[in-house]
Structure 1
Amino acid sequence: MRPLLLQGHERPLTQIKYNRDGDLLMTVSKDKVANLWYSHNGEHIGCYIGHLGALWTIDCNKTSTLVITGAADNTARLWHAETGRMLHTWDLPTAVKRVEFSHDDQYVLMVTEERMGHKSGIYVFAIDISRPEQSNEPVVILRASGAKPTVAAWSFLDKFIVSGHEDGTLSLYDWRNEEVVQTAKAHEGIITDMQMWKDGTYFITSSRDMTARLFETATLEAMKEYKTDAPLNTATMTPTQDLVILGGGQAASEVTTTSSRQGKFESRFFHKIFEDEVGRSRGHFGPINTLAVQPDGKGFASGGEDGLVRVHHFDPEYFKFKYDY
């Protein structure tokens, strides 16, 4: 499984994402540039340039016509996916740490940072794809009563919004009525990533407490736990085999001359049902910050603190893998 090495960033990666069809890969890092690539061969298509601060997050709609980015310059920006033209800018009180289109592409959520006396929140804006100009008035603003949210995602049928918080808790919002339906203690440390299964009925979280967990969306009930020996930055699920992939490693601030094996800078594969580790993929020279799996399950990509994106296409042996239990 020899990866494609994508060198389009000068700073650490913050998020990578495939579009719905899996033919495009979007990457953002702390260097103010969002890149678009062909996923099958790693060819660079172009950049989305305009942000004035580190980029934290990116997403595209289901038809791959619109891209949205969030950054440390306190803005979220909407782009025409094909031409790279900036269509709209939302000005927010603080940095935008996570953006995501709803399943019907009619809304977008934005998670903001807690800074300079401004409380963090989850902003929901309506999207009108028939015109480039968008409303600057949020439909709702969800405020957490406890610790600040770090990640958020839409549930099945866009009925709920699930958020993960700095103190390791999860919140389930009935966002239209601005009500907290459920809360649960998910982790002992900060929740670093949250990725939904394609139908939105369950999701995986990762944390600095060295665990990743699988939760049912409607109840926030923990179903599975995957334990590692290093802090985790990201977790994702594969659609073809019952596997989850975890990424992380020794904190970037603590890395000096540590070898990649000692620093545990590997993508780790666990069986989704039986919770056992079944494999690893090495290569990054620093912590893995973000992971994404191709929607058809034929490959995955990882983005690291080293500024590199590694795109892996699974070998035929991967699809013949049977777990011996």
Structure 2
Amino acid sequence: MAKQTPLTCSGHTRPVVDLDFSEITEDGYFLISACKDGKPMLRQGSTGDWIGTFQGHHGAIWSATLNHDATRAATGAADYTAKLWDAVTGNVLASFDHKHIVKAVSFSPNGKRLLTGGQEKTLRSFNTTNPEAEPEQVGKHEGIIKKAVWIDDRMVLSASEDKSIRKWDTTCNREAQLVRFDSAISDIELSKDGKTLVVASGKTVSIYDACSLEKVREYTLPTRVFSASLHPNKKSIVAGGDDFKIYKYDFESLKEQDSYKGHFGPVHIVRFSPDGELYASGSEDGTVRLWQTNVGTNYGLWKVLVAPDGQDVAAAS
């Protein structure tokens, strides 16, 4: 079996706590990272090459996201603001004030709204085409909001330390559904087709039907899990957590396929690339690492070399 050789993306000086890929554009795809050093970074997604750093926050960055075509970015920070950025020039387009730390940001599919949440326990929706407009209060949790995602341009999901996931209808800003968990939720991710929700909570990774919020299956990890991500074609799931390792499971059989210990600290976030060829991880050790989904193939900076014993070795050039 070919050896997994991750690409290490340096540049951050403190823990990396959030990652997000754009969709595939005519210039490839892109990756944004949120770090407690206060400097979110944009990279070429397939290689990890640094493109630029967004300058303007005055505190740890807890969340970062890109719109589909990577023309806009959004970040949430400990300076009580969420910022909207021109991802091409790096300029701040708008700064949305909050009363506490912002830990979740999410663009609507059409890019016209930005969802925010955090230690205020309040979910808000801002108008990105008219930043001066007053935000809409979508709803409230009983605990800190960790993540929020759009199902479509109307319905959203939010996950909180109050051990719940809530579905909201933004047309009337009312709660449509509530699901309780045994542990605080650390991460949620919506599948590429919008039909599957992945939830990281305690030592489990749970799979839900995104429409009905009925649980389909559940994975139990040997450690507390902080993040999980589903392959775009639903082939596999990767997860990371407290024991510094990244685990890969077959989506249907739940069989563990691989586990890697490449970081030197807990893994806070994992995300698959839009083409599914790699996944990225961010860690307490201050690095972003890129991993091949299919080890031993030529992709990006990975080139297949032949070792003296005749076995293929995937090397990062």
Q: Which TM-score band applies after superposition, normalised by the shorter structure?
A: 0.7 to 0.9
- Residue 318 (structure 1) shift: 7.9
Q: Which residue of 1 aligns with 2:137?
A: 140
Q: Which residue of 2 aligns with 1:267?
A: 246
Residues 87-141 of structure 1: CA deviation (Å, up to 9, x unaligned): 1111111111010100111111001213xxxxx200001121xxxx622411333
Q: Which residue of 2 aligns with 1:126?
A: 127
The AA in structure 1 aligned to 2:221 is T
Q: Note if 1:295 corresponds to 2:269.
A: no
Q: Which residue of 1 aligns with 2:159?
A: 164
- Whether the aligned pair in 1 keeps the contact of 2:237 and 2:248 (CA below 8 Å) is yes
Unaligned 5+ residue runs, structure 1? 115-119, 250-263, 320-325
The AA in structure 2 aligned to 1:179 is R
DSSP 3-state at the match of 1:42: coil
The structure-2 alpha-carbon separation of the partners of 1:111 and 1:101, relative to structure 1 and needing over 3 Å to count, comes to same
The AA in structure 1 aligned to 2:198 is I
Q: Note if 1:177 corresponds to 2:172.
A: yes
Unaligned 5+ residue runs, structure 2? 299-317
- Whether the aligned pair in 2 keeps the contact of 1:167 and 1:188 (CA below 8 Å) is no
Distance in 1 (alpha carbons) for counterparts of 2:43 and 2:102:
23
- Residue 241 (structure 1) shift: 5.4
Q: Which residue of 2 aligns with 1:225?
A: 218
- Residue 170 (structure 1) shift: 1.5
DSSP 3-state at the match of 2:12: coil
Residues 211-260 of structure 1: CA deviation (Å, up to 9, x unaligned): 010111221111110101211110100124521111101xxxxxxxxxxx
Distance in 1 (alpha carbons) for counterparts of 2:233 and 2:168:
30
- Residue 276 (structure 1) shift: 2.3
- Residue 154 (structure 1) shift: 0.6
Q: Which residue of 1 aligns with 2:12?
A: 9
- Whether the aligned pair in 2 keeps the contact of 1:2 and 1:312 (CA below 8 Å) is yes
| Deviates further, 193-202 or 5-14 | 193-202
Equivalent residue in structure 2 for 1:201, among 170, 185, 195: 195
- Residue 19 (structure 1) shift: 1.0
- Residue 206 (structure 1) shift: 0.4
Distance in 2 (alpha carbons) for counterparts of 1:54 and 1:216:
33
Q: Which residue of 2 aligns with 1:18?
A: 21
Q: Which residue of 1 aligns with 2:150?
A: 154
Q: Note if 1:314 corresponds to 2:307.
A: no
Distance in 2 (alpha carbons) for counterparts of 1:294 and 1:148:
28
Q: How does 1:69-88 map to 2 (within 5 A)?
A: 69-88=75-94
- Whether the aligned pair in 2 keeps the contact of 1:226 and 1:276 (CA below 8 Å) is no
Q: Note if 1:93 corresponds to 2:99.
A: yes
- Residue 301 (structure 1) shift: 0.7
DSSP 3-state at the match of 1:226: strand
User: What TM-score, normalized by structure 1, do the two folds share?
Assistant: 0.85
Distance in 2 (alpha carbons) for counterparts of 1:150 and 1:311:
24
Q: Which residue of 1 aligns with 2:264?
A: 285
Distance in 2 (alpha carbons) for counterparts of 1:237 and 1:183:
23
| Deviates further, 296-305 or 194-203 | 194-203
Whichever structure has more helix as a proportion of its residues is: 1
The AA in structure 2 aligned to 1:150 is K
- Residue 11 (structure 1) shift: 0.3
- Whether the aligned pair in 2 keeps the contact of 1:224 and 1:273 (CA below 8 Å) is no
The structure-2 alpha-carbon separation of the partners of 1:74 and 1:136, relative to structure 1 and needing over 3 Å to count, comes to farther
Distance in 1 (alpha carbons) for counterparts of 2:140 and 2:49:
41
The structure-2 alpha-carbon separation of the partners of 1:318 and 1:44, relative to structure 1 and needing over 3 Å to count, comes to closer
